[in-house]
Amino acid sequence: MFSPRIAVAAVAAVLSLGAQAAGDPVAGRHKNYQCQGCHGIPGWKTAFPEVYNVPKLGGQHPAYIAAALKAYKKGERDHPTMKAIAADLSDKDIEDIAAYYGAAVPTSATK
């Protein structure tokens, strides 16, 4: 469900974090095991909690990814799977994962 308040907060967080996340992309590559099953498959669709295309993360702005993960962790974004995954991530894990996906080459959903 889209929430304008959350979207505005995410954009503000992105702008306040600057151009790069503070994380280590090499460390993030080793921490993305819970992410790659859905976000690492071009064109992947999931059926929980409803059928939808899973967003691509490769090439996404690191600050946006970090802000989104932190919002899931705090319960400010509502997706059961993402909330459960983010709940176990430390702030360092989040920054590392964001840096990894921010540095990754975008994939095409049509491949």
Taking only the tens place, the pLDDT of each residue in 37-78 is 888 777 777 776 677 788 888 889 999 999 999 999 999 998
Per-domain residue ranges for the chain?
4-103
The topology under which CATH files domain 4-103 is Cytochrome Bc1 Complex; Chain D, domain 2 (1.10.760)
Q: What is the pLDDT of residues 20-38, one digit of tens each?
A: 558 999 999 999 988 988 8
Provide the β-strand partners of residue 53.
45
Using a 10 angstrom Cβ sphere, with 0-12 exposed, 13-18 middle and 19 or more buried, the burial of residue 57 is buried
CB-based contacts of 3-8 (< 8 A; 24+ apart in sequence)? 6/71, 6/76, 6/77
User: Is 0.75 topped by the overall pTM?
Assistant: no
